[in-house]
Structure 1
């Protein structure tokens, strides 16, 4: 898949850093994600295929957090995962990437840069 880096709303950091999610990311994805996401607008709608990893919802401090599905990828050769929260209304061609690294820095990415994603 190919796409362009786009800006986000800055809310990924809050959700990624919740203990209920982080524990499952370590266990199921094998890494602690950088507290934030990289948004990619794909050239075509995201078609995930059968390789999803379920991250279960949980309750924390009187608030519930919903399930999400992750798909392991390589982004320009670096490890990461597409994360698709069940409680969102993403356009079909927009994906959020989590990774143990801050991908913008590691790959020197700016909005509009083209990247390649390979489902693992």
Structure 2
């Protein structure tokens, strides 16, 4: 499955959660290295796509007051391997996808709010 969306600013909370021990080791395993502390937020037009993506999702168990996170591996712009993460406790709408990777994506790919990106879901 391939999904297009637009980069948008987030809530600024991703960095905190990306560095919590309960998530850090599973993210390392998924990415093959330490994750960049933050997420790239991508707005999609059809929130029903999120339901389709989640059909192939795997779960990271939370703990110590932190909720579970679902994830699927994905490829950003046919270039960057990472994962879409779906915290079960979130304030984001279903039309906002959060992508994680081992590098600062905005800086590395020179992305700004409104830029169009493509995600390829890897099962």
Give the TM-score normalised by structure 2.
0.87
Is 1:56 the equivalent of 2:61?
Answer: yes
Aligned to 1:27: 29
Report the CA distance shift for 1:72/1:32 in structure 2 as closer, same or farther (over 3 A): same
Bigger fraction of residues in helix: 2
Segments ≥4 residues shifted beyond 6 Å: none
1:27 shift after superposition: 2.6
Task: Extract unaligned runs of 5+ from structure 1.
Answer: none
1:32 shift after superposition: 1.7
1:90 shift after superposition: 2.7
Aligned to 2:103: 101
Where does 1:78-117 land on structure 2 (aligned, <5 Å)? 78-117=80-119
- Is the contact made by 2:31 and 2:102 (CA closer than 8 Å) also made in structure 1? no
Bigger fraction of residues in strand: 1
User: What is the alpha-carbon distance in structure 1 between the residues aligned to residue 46 and residue 103 of structure 2?
Assistant: 26
User: What is the alpha-carbon distance in structure 2 between the residues aligned to residue 29 and residue 99 of structure 1?
Assistant: 7
What CA RMSD, in Å, does the superposition of the two structures yield over aligned residues? 1.3
Q: Secondary structure at the match of 1:66?
A: coil
- Is the contact made by 1:28 and 1:53 (CA closer than 8 Å) also made in structure 2? no
User: What is the alpha-carbon distance in structure 1 between the residues aligned to residue 60 and residue 21 of structure 2?
Assistant: 12
User: What is the alpha-carbon distance in structure 2 between the residues aligned to residue 13 and residue 39 of structure 1?
Assistant: 12
1:91 shift after superposition: 1.6
User: What is the alpha-carbon distance in structure 2 between the residues aligned to residue 28 and residue 82 of structure 1?
Assistant: 11
Aligned to 1:7: 9
- Count of aligned pairs: 116
